[in-house]
Structure 1
Amino acid sequence: MPTAVTSSAELERALRNLQAAKLPWARLPLAERIALLDRLPEDLHAVEQPWVAAALAARGAQPGSPAESEEWFSFSVIYRQLRYLRKSLSQIAAKGRPQMPGKLCWKTAGQWTVDVFPQTLADRLALPGIRAEVRARDNFNGDLPETAAFYQQAEPQGGLCLVLGAGNVNALPAGDLLHKLFVEGKVVLLKLNPVNAYLDEWMQLAFGALIEPGYLQIVQGGADVGGELAAHPAVDEVHVTGSARTYAALQGIGKPLSAELGNVSPVIVVPGPWSTGDVRKQAAKYATSLVANAGFNCVTPRVFIQMEGWAQRQAFNQALVDYLRGVPTRRAWYPGAAERQAAFVQKYPQAQQIGGAGQGELPWTYIPGLDSEAKDGTAFRQEAFCGLAVETALPAENPIDFLHKAVQFANQHLWGDLAATIVVHPKSLQDPLMEAAVQQAITDLRYGTVVVNHWGALAFYLALTPWGAAPGNTPADIQSGVGMVSNPLMFAQPEKSVVQAPFLSFPDPYLAQSRRSYAYFRADARYQHRPNAGNLLRLLWAALRS
């Protein structure tokens, strides 16, 4: 299907509108910003059904399938972002800055940390056992002027940011534009990715409150249009969610450029007293992470790192493959997926292709036993970006030694630094030495987000922990990008987000073989839209029924 393109005249008109709105937006009173954040959830709610239907049609999926769950997930994320932004702006209006939801603590590693989740009893009921914190160095004190920096300016000038939207997850372009508008005070020109340009009509309606006064404009076009807009003199800065190739093409624009560019995401499986049931349930959890969104996520698990000689290593591999056999294959709707999968299969003859893939679909692919010292390191340096993951093992004297080596391996040999996962049994954590080793691993992993006992999408879902690559990347070695989004608490220089989840969850409506996961995620979107007691009870009931 040819890419829809906004005409040159319409692009120029959009840029003029944004230029005219740049200063008025920068100086818009907080009360009016809050009023916009009150209207946006209602406008978004009004387009839920046609938005979901359009996404399912574009991805060749049916209602009631896992693909429907994924769209409701996106709505939940956007609703959460809107709610937390409103809360922060209300606190700025009352007290000058967003208020830290937890106490600041000084870690021995030289980091400030603040607990950001859970904040309420409802949080604990909806997401039992899940905790999140944000870490940073030096100027992390919530009373410093760097916090909510835009709102500390006496006469802000604003700016015009071009957002080159992601095509894989429909919450991403919405989240990026909300961050640039409400956290950084910029007006936004959003160019939709051709892959999900079907959202144009529904995003125009959902974000009409921002479009009507000229604070936001949404356009369409391919990479050529994106390049022309990035170079346009009216554009002050660019944010891209995409590939390192896209970032490289934009480096010469001579403007601030922030980016989130994906990841070869590691899952470090720490040996411990796992029962047969533990192995099966963990394999189900991470197989589900692999197939979510047909594998087209920047935090899809790509490399499972295990310890050589662990008695349950092969059992875990087999359980993961067995679970994948029970998950229907999906249409390969993201461009280039078939070619990437074929290249990996050709490179690694031990690749296991799982499932009866129909026309236009791809089998789930698992490639165990990669040599951790392989010189070419294809699977370690290239993001497959489809339903494919690999496994490797490291020699180690014991689980603590393994964890230390796994962290080194992830930092030194895997491309990207967006998100990493550590899987560790709760009984292992009863050993003070292992608990200390896990905390040290969290500190040492050079990733923007570290999640214990879940995958990176959980942090993205929370919409409270800043989202982006580890700080310090340079254009010469950009890795997963530079800059942070999804930062409603408006931390100035966050270093790392840390999320911890239970090893086992019951019920677990998230699993790919759950027949009613779509109903759970739809109920969650209802709750996030209107977080009242009735919707919370409906959410808990949907979880039990899943």
Structure 2
Amino acid sequence: MTTTEQATPASSAPPLPGDDVRAALDSAIATVQAGEQRWAGLGIAERGALLGRVHAAVASQSEQWVAAAARAKNLDPESPLVGEEYLSGPYCTMSGLLTLQHSLAAVAAGKSPVQSIKFGTGPGGRVVVPVLPTSAYEFLLLNGFTADVWMKPGITGTEVRARAGLGALTPKDTAGVGLVLGAGNISSIAPLDVLYELVAHNRVVILKLNPTMNELLPVYEAAFAPLIELGVLAIVAGAGDVGSYLANHPGISHVHITGSAVTHDVIVWGPGPDGAARRAAGTPVLDKPITSELGGVSPIIVVPGEWSTADLKFQAQHVATQRLHNGGYNCVAGQVVILSSEWPQREAFVSELRKALEAAPERVPWYPGSGDRVAAAGTAYAKADHLGKGGGRLLIDARNGVDAAAIQTTEYFSPVLGIVDVPGTGQAFVDAAVDHANTALVGTLGANVLVSPATLKELGSGFDEALARLEYGTIAVNAWTAVGFLTAGAPWGAFPGHTIDDVQSGIGIVHNAFLLQDTERTIVRGPFRPFPRSFVGGELSLSPKPPWFVSARSARRTGQLLTRFAAKPSWAKLPGIFVSAFRA
């Protein structure tokens, strides 16, 4: 998710790029327009082989990719935090490429990409498609973590299998040139969006980088050289004027943006008062369809239970990670912790959370405008705790009569975390927290729920029924929704149903490497406790502290080893990964 770097000024019409820039952009569009016919002429098996060459190219560039991302974010190259760049960059991209190759191979053989997956049943009779783990490798590497795709109500298992494949089922029916306005925070977002445009929608692509990612331009050009050389992808850089020119170019048939709702609305309706008037009249300036992933305010629902001191500390670190990963600049960063006002351990948990935020590794606030957003939050909440070196992390306690509107309706996209509460225990709390998240918080991209195994057992089927009422595109239970982002087969996007005049967290999905149609949401589940404490309560998970935790000391090495594994999976590589992970 980005803020406004792709946008034009809100008070005036966007300037046009200079003649030489416009000529270069026109040439890039013409190149991929010619490439559309080559894409249409490639059989499914040939497309799979092409993605194999892209996978090899990404693997060859993985170290350069991470180094460039670290430079862009002012990270010490030896910092454990560099592990974030491995996992959310080349590792994630290569995992997506491997699963897409599987899906294309299945379609080429006349089979469904989910032919061998055994479906389950969810609340309301929904078909449930397990997408993690789908191999013995995943079972071991992410032991204790699962991800299930809940299909829309009324869709049958037969329909799910038959429709899986999307654009790969009709490869000759191409759909013109898609413009991808790339994200400025996570380096795999734009590449995965490009791949989804090509494979799922049969659109060739112009990728316009966010300026924060310009450092990665040469890496992307090398990593995706097979697509560029075929003429089905062109990558361009530039500011908002370039994005506006491309979005409104007659050669572009579709726009996909990862950014903010503000940027989306400027593109769709235009800037300033004229844009507001067009929105009110329902007359957009953009004359083509647009899909989007726009972030929001993500809740972390903490279900009351009887937690040990170790549980309180671990889950506080978990919440701190959900806020501080990537410096706090994530579309799905947890922003509002929802506690029970009747939980006897609530203040003990808040104390541990304060310690976790204070102790998390320091890093430069690298994303543009971060300081201003933190300052705005501090102005709105004068009694906020300023934590970390320099006080750049805010913990806002919006309980006890404090007006929570700002923290619940403003995506701060910075290290700002709020706490609110609702009454109740057990099922009454869960239901109240779900209602609060659905009605008081802006956005529907991701929601997180922390609940002990004992409490989960007590809740029974009522817990999953509550999840069915929680209207978010990805819901993580005892995990962070970013695990859904990292899972290649999981769809990623807002809860379905938004429109351009009320876009919330966006329209449409991406990733979805099994190419499923009619998806509703993804449910991720993880262990409440790390190994070996996970065996308390019978979880039987071998997962140590996850490498994406900001407090994981071995994260850099673990991320590097996982990336090398994704480049060339091998049983021989697993012991080294496990040893590094258990040093976290």
Shared fold (TM-score, shorter chain, > 0.5): yes
C-alpha distance in 2 between matches for 1:401 and 1:373: 23
Say which of 138, 141, 155 aligns to 1:139: 155
Task: Verify: 1:392 aligned to 2:420, yes or no.
Answer: yes
Query: By how many angstroms is 1:100 displaced?
Result: 4.2
Match of 1:447 among 440, 447, 472: 472
Q: What amino acid does structure 2 have at the position aligned with 1:421?
A: N
**2:247 counterpart letter in structure 1:** A
Task: State the one-letter code of the partner of 1:345.
Answer: G
Aligned CA distance change for structure 1 residues 372 and 404 (closer, same or farther; 3 Å): farther
Give SS of 1:481's match.
coil
Tell me the distance in 2 between the aligned counterparts of 1:132 and 1:27: 35
- Does residue 84 of structure 1 match 2:99? yes
1:126 counterpart residue number: 141
Q: Deviation at 1:263?
A: 1.5
Aligned to 1:336, which of 364, 369, 374? Answer: 369
2:350 partner SS: helix
Q: Which residue number corresponds to residue 11 of structure 2?
A: none
Cα distance in structure 2, aligned partners of 1:121 and 1:470: 30
Q: Would the alpha carbon gap of residues 60 and 151 (structure 1) be closer, same or farther in structure 2, given more than 3 Å must change?
A: closer
Deviation digits for residues 399-433 of structure 1 (CA, Å, limit 9, x no counterpart) = 210110000000001000001011100011222xx
Q: Which amino acid aligns with 2:569?
A: P
Q: Describe the superposition over 1:500-545 as per-residue Cα deviations: whole angstroms up to 9, x where unpaired.
A: 1010123214332232211111111111111110122221121122
Given candidates 275, 282, 285, the residue that maps to 2:315 is 282
Q: What per-residue deviation string (whole Å, max 9, x for no partner) do you get for residues 123-142 of structure 1?
A: 11100111111111233535
Matched with 2:301 is 268
Q: Amino acid of the residue matched to residue 110 of structure 2? A: K
* C-alpha distance 89-326 of structure 1, shift in aligned 2 (>3 A): same
Match of 1:173 among 174, 185, 190: 190
Instruction: Output one character per residue of 1:300-356: Cα deviation in whole Å (capped at 9) or x when no partner.
Output: 110000000211111111101112222232211111111110011111122111111
Three-state SS of the structure 2 residue aligned to 1:535 is helix
For residue 37 of structure 2, what is the aligned residue in structure 1?
Answer: 23
Q: Name the SS of the counterpart of 1:7 in structure 2.
A: helix
Match of 2:327 among 294, 309, 313: 294
Question: Is 1:311 equivalent to 2:326 in the alignment?
Answer: no
Equivalent residues of 1:304, 1:390 under 8 A apart: yes
Q: Which moved more, 1:14-23 or 1:148-157?
A: 148-157
* Partner amino acid, structure 1, of 2:221: Q
CA distance, structure 2, for counterparts of residue 247 and residue 258 of structure 1 = 9
1:410 paired residue number: 437
Q: Which residue of 2 aligns with 1:255?
A: 288
**Preserved CA contact (<8 Å) 1:140 1:493:** no
Secondary structure in 1 matching 2:448: strand
Partners of 2:181 and 2:548 lie apart in 1 by 30
CA positional deviation for 1:36: 1.1
Rounded Cα–Cα distance in structure 2 between residues aligned with 1:161 and 1:344: 37
8 Å Cα contact 1:27/1:156 also seen in 2 = no
Q: Which amino acid aligns with 1:430?
A: K
Structure 1 equivalent of residue 217 of structure 2? 200
2:334/2:417 contact within 8 Å kept: yes
Aligned 1:27-106 pairs, distance under 5 A: 27-73=41-87, 74-106=89-121
Structure 2: gaps (5+ residues): 7-16, 269-284, 532-543
State which drifts further: 316-325 or 410-419: 316-325
Name the CA distance, whole Å, in 1 between partners of 2:433 and 2:427. Answer: 10
- Residue pair 2:44, 2:171 contacting (<8 A) in 1 also: no
Q: 2:517 pairs with 492, 495, 501, which one?
A: 492
Write the distance in 2 (CA, Å) between the matches of 1:386 and 1:410.
20
In structure 2, C-alpha distance between the alignment counterparts of 1:473 and 1:413, rounded to whole Å: 17
Once residues 152 and 442 of structure 1 are traced to their aligned partners in structure 2, the CA distance between those partners, rounded to angstroms, is 33
CA contact (8 A) 1:370 1:390 kept: no
Partners of 2:23 and 2:400 in 1: CA distance: 55
* Structure 2 counterpart of 1:511: 549
Cα drift, residue 258 of structure 1: 0.0
Match of 1:476 among 492, 501, 509: 501
- Which residue is 1:527 aligned to? 565
Q: In the TM superposition, what is the alpha-carbon distance from 1:101 to its structure 2 partner? A: 4.7
Q: d(CA) in 2 for partners of 1:108 and 1:248?
A: 35
The alignment status of 1:543 with 2:581, answered yes or no, reads yes
Q: What amino acid sits opposite 1:417 in the alignment?
A: T
Q: Does 1:369 align with 2:398?
A: yes
- Structure 1 spans left out of the alignment, 5+ residues: none
Secondary structure of the corresponding residue to residue 545 of structure 1:
coil
Letter in 2 for 1:545: R
Contact 2:329 2:413 (C-alpha < 8 Å) held by counterparts? yes
- Partners of 2:111 and 2:456 in 1: how far apart? 40
1:435 counterpart = 2:460: yes
Q: Is the CA contact (8 Å cut-off) linking 1:191 and 1:220 kept in structure 2?
A: yes
CA distance in 2, matches of 1:392, 1:295: 19
The answer to which of 220-229 and 113-122 deviates more is: 113-122
CA offset at residue 99 of structure 1?
2.3
Query: In the alignment, does 2:394 pair up with 1:378?
Result: no
Mark the CA change 1:154 to 1:468 in structure 2 (over 3 Å): closer, same or farther. Answer: closer
Separation in structure 1 between the aligned mates of residue 357 and residue 408 of structure 2, nearest angstrom: 22
Contact 2:123 2:465 in 1 (8 A): no
Q: Say if 1:394 and 1:406, in contact at 8 Å, map to a contact too.
A: yes
Q: For the residues of structure 1 that align with 2:246 and 2:509, how far apart are their CA atoms? A: 22
Report if the CA contact (8 A) 1:230-1:250 is conserved.
yes
SS for the counterpart of 1:212 is helix
Q: Which residue is equivalent to 1:421?
A: 448
How many matched pairs? 537
What is the alpha-carbon root mean square deviation over aligned residues? 1.9
* Counterpart secondary structure, 1:302: strand
Instruction: Choose which of 149, 161, 176 in structure 1 pairs with 2:166.
Output: 149
SS at match of 1:499: strand
The 4+ residue runs of structure 1 with deviation greater than 6 A are 2-6
Between 126-135 and 90-99, report the one with greater CA deviation. Answer: 90-99
Aligned-partner residue type, residue 124 of structure 1: F
Q: What residue in structure 1 maps to residue 276 of structure 2?
A: none
Q: Call closer, same or farther: CA 1:127–1:333 in 2, change over 3 Å.
A: same
Residue type at the aligned position of 2:512 = N
Asked whether the 8 Å contact 1:66–1:517 carries over to 2, the reply is yes
TM-aligned CA deviation for residue 177 of structure 1: 0.4
Alpha-carbon distance in structure 1 between the residues aligned to 2:398 and 2:405: 13
Pick which of 100-109 and 449-458 moved more: 100-109
Tell me how far apart the structure 1 counterparts of residues 401 and 522 of structure 2 sit (CA, whole Å): 27
2:379 aligned to 342, 346, 358, which one? Answer: 346
Q: Return the offset for 1:192.
A: 0.2
Distance (Å, rounded) in 1 between the aligned partners of 2:398 and 2:549: 25
In the superposition, the TM-score normalised over structure 1's length comes to 0.95
Conserved in 2, the CA contact under 8 Å of 1:100 and 1:116?
no
Map of 1:227 onto structure 2: 244
